[in-house]
Chain A
Amino acid sequence: MIGTAVLQLRGRVRGRPVLYTSYAADQAILDTPAKRWWTAALVIVVLALPFLLSRDLTSLMMTVFIYAIGGIGLNLVTGYAGQVSLGHAFFMGLGAYTAAVLGGVETDQVLGFGLDMAIWLPMAGIVPALVGLAVAPLAARVRGLYLAILTLGLVFIGEHIFKEARQITGGAGVGRAPAEPVLFGMDLRATYHAFGYILPRDAMLYFVFFAIFMVLAVAARNLARSKLGRAFAAVRDRDIAAAVMGVPLQRTKTLAFTISSFYAGIAGALLVVVIGQMTPGNWNLFLSIEFLAVILIGGIATISGSIMGAAFVVLMPRLVAELAGSVPFISTAPGSGFLTVFHVQTMLFGALIVLFLVLEPRGLYGLWVRVRNYWKAWPFSY
């Protein structure tokens, strides 16, 4: 008796990795030892990257985190809740400008209050969330492709508003600088030394971004496996049946938009910190399409899929640029060669969207699941 009690640690039985005896263990995100160890290893590798990579690769990794945050937000509303939204760029822009006004430097042309990151970052999420809250009732009435194009309209109207609100955005063509990343008084862009060792230049910024990303990703995962997450899935699959079962349709759709806008706002605010200058033209249809590509290539309705999709979308162009040296007909110089690097990158991007949708509808995550299942069942994987 005591022996079996000892063996049943926290709902798991030692020696029987997939036997769960408690609900919490069954629902856990990292439910097998393999998952736990590999996640820990991944986290350690990611934390070590700024020391190993050059500066531009480090800022590329920061962009991956940011795209992952935005992708998770879009996945929550489009993948989990089934509300197709092309308006992600608009909410990102809102977040970026809120952050810039609260955290940026004041000049003759634009407003800026120079507040701490601990203030502008949450506000960069909250303000777009409130706007998402305002937009949601209209969005809830409309379905399918009508909703997609309605949200597209938000992007265009938003662009117009951004261009006109010169005090906030600096106007078209010139733009403005983003918020200053000063967290609790610490300037994240300065060089630091810890324990006598000099840290690479953007290391602190990288670590803070990574921390924010981890918190938001875990929060989203927890949301997805909670009651609200199940309500999202019900609304996506058959919304009338969901309403019949007692899922409040209007409230669920509204929450989906609000939470997704929160994530989008934070992603937008952090993105411009990496870029360095933003113009109203940044927040356009192509940015929305990029995020749709992130979730489609990565995997609809999965958080890890959004992360994989973000890594893919951000790193693939860089890979193509590096390969351009070796492939003869792609050139970096203008006018020469059959296609330039950028043409190849864009065409590859479009072609990959098509390929993933046609061949593997569950995206990179689906591919990963296939590989994992193959190896789990090996040598009986037939």
Chain B
Amino acid sequence: MRSTARRTAAVLGVVALLATACAVEDDGDGEAAEDGGTEEPGGDSDEIAFDVGVTEEPCPDAVNPDNGCIYLGVLSDLSEGPFAPVAVPITAGQEAFWARVNEAGGIGGFDVDIATYTRDTLYDPQQHSARYREIEPNILALAQTLGTPTTAAILADMDADNVIGAPASWWSGWAFDDSDQGLILESGYSYCIEAQVGLDWFAANVSEPATVLAVGYPGDYGGDSAAGVEQWAEANGAQFAGFIETAPNTIVGSQDAAVGAVMESGADAVVLAVGPAETGEIIGKTVVSGFGGQFLGSVPTWNPALLESAAAGAILSTYTNIAPWEGIDGTSAAHDAIRESLDGGVPENDGYIFGWVWSYPIKAALEAAAENGDLTREGLRSVVDGLEVDYEDALPPATFGADTNENAIRQAVINRPDEEGTLGLSTVEAEVTGETAEAYEYTSACS
């Protein structure tokens, strides 16, 4: 390489250095979102200001052709990931919910569409992050973001974009601003509270356990639940036999290690935070080997197919299910609407109801923002603090943003497996609360 090439390289290098030196960090004083993506031109429609994710044109296949359209995104696990069996009905439940909202006239003169920006992320943070960036220029908020690590992966971006979202997870961290930046609108209890309420009910209605054990997947699911079990044991003077970490069968092949640990623990009550197949295996194998304790299962441990497996007998006699709200046979106005939307049919599993109930906070936020006349991202984010949500009796009304210790939901529904019940469960008691759960100082995430 002789002089010409070297000169060129030198000039380019100097230009690059100059550009870097002159590149001043921008403090973001007042610039509009200029991602270069599709921007909805801001506008007013009957004095409601809107910009990104909202259009004056009607939604595709709109129910009300005169309304504009609010686009919400859904990032879920719809095909091959570990939670697809429950996530597909969750998304179906959400679609039914918003269809009902649209039939009632929409919100503030707009219909709500979640189907256009539904993306499958396979419970993989990389996919979740990539799909979020793909749909972000076109949506106002996220109607669903499934999973804790996946949502955590996009939280920084959501914060920068002022996008709020409803999570499809019950991690305790979502209740606290330092974990969720005030962006996440969760519903119902957390796994941590669930374990405590469940054990409270168990102690009051079945027997007082002297030893309690937690079995689950490490992390936001089993870890959260185990933290609750440990809390309960401490508060009630019971012995906490430990947290047995296990993993889905696809990773460990079978639950024999957990089964062995349960047998050895001598626990009277075991709280399970695993998947349905693993639940069936653990209960089946331990009961057949002579285990004398009872099992409390977290929400995701149930699948109606369990009553057709070999462990059905054991499950019927030892398993109790804890749920955040009633199942398909529930008595609230929300449940009536759910059954109406199904036209007398039965969903594949309870995921349908989860999706429905999880959508209420977003609806409340949209309505509040529409009332303020500000359906922009900032406007929507600003109504979260202090937002009151009406769940149509599926849950007691909730308030966001204020003191979590005061406002956290601490009630559950107790179900038992029942061959006659729809989806295999029948409710034993609803609106259950417990002493330990009520007294728990909920000041930070449990795990």
Measuring CB to CB, which residues of chain A are less than 8 angstroms from any residue of chain B?
Answer: 9-10, 51-56, 59-60, 63, 163, 171-175, 177, 186-187, 190-195, 198-201, 204, 271, 274-279, 282, 318, 332-335, 340-343, 346
Contacts and interface: CB of A to CB of B under 8 A. Distances in A.
Contacts of B204: none
B334 interface: no
Given A54-B36, A192-B23, A192-B26, A340 B220 contact: no
A318 B130 CA distance: 10
A173 B223 contact: yes
Contacts of B222: 173
A277 B130 contact: no
Interface in B20-36: 20, 22-26, 28, 31, 34-36
Q: Which 9 interchain pairs have the tightest Cβ spacing?
A: A173-B219, A277-B153, A56-B133, A54-B37, A334-B78, A276-B153, A191-B26, A192-B23, A194-B23
Given A56-B130, A275-B129, A192 B24 contact: yes
13 contacts: A53-B36, A54-B35, A172-B219, A173-B219, A174-B223, A194-B24, A282-B126, A318-B134, A333-B115, A334-B76, A334-B92, A340-B120, A346-B80
A278 B148 contact: no
B244 to A, nearest CB: 14
Interface of B: 1-2, 19-20, 22-26, 28, 31, 34-38, 76, 78-80, 87-88, 91-92, 115, 118-120, 122, 124-126, 129-130, 133-134, 136-137, 148-150, 152-154, 156-157, 217-223, 247, 447
A194 B307 CA distance: 65
A187 to B, nearest CB: 7
A69 B154 CA distance: 24
Among B37, B124, B219, chain A packs the most CB atoms within 10 A around the CB of B219
Given A173-B148, A198-B34, A342 B80 contact: yes
Contacts of B220: 173-174
Contacts of B20: 186
Contacts of B133: 55-56, 59
A63 B2 CA distance: 35
A200 B88 contact: no
Contact of A335 (B34, B92, B150): B92
Contacts of B22: 194-195
A92 to B, nearest CB: 12
Contact of A175 (B37, B115, B125, B130): B125
A55 B122 contact: no
A30 to B, nearest CB: 10
B149 A175 contact: yes
Contacts, number: 142
Contacts of B35: 54-55, 200-201
A173 B221 CA distance: 8
Contact of B24 (A9, A10, A174, A193): A193
Among A60, A174, A201, chain B packs the most CB atoms within 10 A around the CB of A174
B345 to A, nearest CB: 14
Contacts of B125: 175, 275-279, 282
Contacts of A274: 129
A340 B150 CA distance: 21
A341 B130 contact: no
A187 B88 CA distance: 40
Contact of B118 (A163, A318, A333, A346): A333
A223 to B, nearest CB: 19
Contacts of A194: 19, 22-24
Contacts of B80: 342, 346
A56 B78 contact: no
B265 to A, nearest CB: 21
A229 B154 CA distance: 41
A287 B248 CA distance: 20
Contacts of A278: 125
A9 B3 CA distance: 11
